[in-house]
């Protein structure tokens, strides 16, 4: 029986197994399905994981570069993962001592800075154009507060596709029931993640010194590839702020607090430039994992 060494990390409870890309894992999809399983997968505080990050480090580059491949529990490879990118940056920082890292993803290179209070990752420019989300040819234009399979959604690509629905109270929605029809809607030829958002009040001390009109949102996301709710979704947090601005619910270039169940993230979406995602990363443990034949 072959085993490979792995490390368990999470970014605001969006949890991942980290494996060196050179490790002898011939069937990555089977490996992810086995070890991410929430019932029978890798042990720990929470059994299983939201995916496996296969990372390849180029320590000699300046800044240091990490190629990130996220294999999800359903075997799919995601183009990008905001929380996974934060984990990859911390992994590279631990390996090299670097504080600045370039993460190479199928969605493009992403610049990251590792600081004591958290990791900031550049997330590219949110895109609403049908060709970028992508949307089916008969969509007839961007989806902005558009009814789709029972939810009113705004479709945006933040490295991966998100359908964002603004609601009064994210906890009042039965996400596992309402999300799948949107996640699989024909309007989304590559599928989509489904993200709920609700405006939240900022308590006074949270706004201390915050520039502009401080704002906050609650978030919940049903993730494509996990085929279920995760406790945080970085691309989803960026999608909340980008969609809030596009739909006129928010008008700021300042930092916005977005709170999925797993913790608080800080998002900046400039009017013209790449968005950023900032938040904590925790390394949980080392583990040796069986490699399926």
Does position 14 interact with ligand API (CB under 6 A)? The reply is yes
Would you give the binding string for ligand API spanning residues 218-237, x where CB under 6 A is met?
-----xxxx---x--xxx--
Return the bridge partners of 155, or none: 163
Q: Which stretch binds ligand API (CB under 6 A): 25-33, 79-87, 252-260, 281-289?
A: 79-87
Would the annotation count 97 as a binding residue?
Answer: no
Q: 100 to 159, contacts with ligand API by CB under 6 A?
A: none
Minimum CB separation from ligand API for residue 194, in Å? 10
Name the DSSP letter for residue 127. B
**Integer Cα distance of 166 and 243 in angstroms:** 9
Would the annotation count 72 as a binding residue?
Answer: yes
Return the bridge partners of 265, or none: 258
The runs of H, that is alpha helices, within 1-99 are 28-36, 82-96
Would you give the binding string for ligand API spanning residues 264-283, x where CB under 6 A is met?
--------------------
Residue with the two structure tokens 């792995």: 6
Q: Which stretch binds ligand API (CB under 6 A): 58-66, 77-85, 113-121, 257-265?
A: 77-85
Would the annotation count 14 as a binding residue?
Answer: yes
Q: 56 to 75, contacts with ligand API by CB under 6 A?
A: 72
Q: 150 to 169, contacts with ligand API by CB under 6 A?
A: 160
3-state helix, strand, coil in the chain (%, to 5): 20, 40, 45
Q: At what angle do helices 82-96 and 234-246 cross, to 10 degrees?
A: 130
Q: 169 to 228, contacts with ligand API by CB under 6 A?
A: 193, 223-226
By C-beta, is 149 or 202 nearer to ligand API? 149
Binding ligand API (rule: CB under 6 A), the pick from 8, 34, 68, 83 is 83
Strand pairing category for 265-268 and 256-259: antiparallel
Q: Is 212 exposed, middle or buried (0-12, 13-18, 19+ CB in 10 A)?
A: exposed
Would the annotation count 83 as a binding residue?
Answer: yes
**Integer Cα distance of 275 and 277 in angstroms:** 7
Q: 28 to 57, contacts with ligand API by CB under 6 A?
A: none
**What are the catalytic residues?**
81, 233
Going 122 to 125 to 128 to 132, the CA torsion angle's sign is negative
Minimum CB separation from ligand API for residue 87, in Å? 9
Minimum CB separation from ligand API for residue 2, in Å? 28
Q: How far is CA 56 from CA 45, 51, 69, 100, in A?
A: 27, 16, 9, 16
Count residues contacting ligand API (CB under 6 A)? 17
**Integer Cα distance of 31 and 289 in angstroms:** 9
Q: How far is CA 103 from CA 112, 160, 273, in A?
A: 7, 16, 18
Would the annotation count 193 as a binding residue?
Answer: yes
Minimum CB separation from ligand API for residue 84, in Å? 6
Give the residues lining the site for ligand API (CB under 6 A).
14, 72, 78, 81-84, 160, 193, 223-226, 230, 233-235
């Amino acid at each position: 029986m072959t085993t490979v060494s792995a490390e368990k990390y999470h970014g605001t409870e969006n949890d991942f197994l980290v494996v060196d890309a050179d490790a002898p894992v011939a069937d990555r999809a089977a490996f992810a399905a086995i070890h991410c399983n929430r019932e029978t997968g890798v042990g720990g505080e929470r059994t299983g994981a939201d995916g496996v990050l296969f990372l390849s480090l180029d320590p000699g580059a300046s800044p240091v570069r990490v190629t990130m491949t996220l294999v999800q529990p359903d075997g799919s490879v995601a183009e990008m993962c905001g929380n996974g990118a934060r984990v990859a940056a911390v992994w590279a920082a631990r390996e090299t001592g670097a504080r600045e890292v370039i993460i190479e993803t199928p969605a493009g290179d992403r610049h990251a800075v590792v600081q004591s209070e958290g990791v900031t990752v550049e997330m590219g420019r949110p895109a609403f154009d049908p060709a970028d989300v992508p949307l089916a040819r008969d969509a007839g234009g961007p989806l902005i507060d558009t009814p789709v399979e029972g939810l009113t959604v705004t479709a945006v690509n933040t490295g991966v596709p998100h359908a964002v629905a603004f609601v009064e109270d994210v906890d009042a929605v039965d996400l596992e029931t309402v999300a799948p029809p949107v996640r699989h809607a024909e309007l989304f030829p590559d599928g989509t993640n489904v993200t709920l958002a609700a405006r939240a009040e900022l308590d006074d001390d949270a706004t201390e010194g915050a520039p502009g009109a401080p704002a906050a949102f609650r978030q919940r996301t049903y993730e494509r590839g996990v085929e279920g709710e995760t406790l945080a979704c970085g691309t989803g947090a960026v999608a909340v702020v980008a969609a809030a601005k596009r739909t006129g619910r928010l008008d700021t270039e300042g930092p916005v607090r977005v709170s999925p169940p797993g913790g608080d993230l800080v998002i900046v979406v400039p009017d013209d430039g790449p968005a950023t995602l900032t938040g904590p990363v925790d390394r949980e443990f080392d583990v040796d994992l069986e490699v399926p034949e």
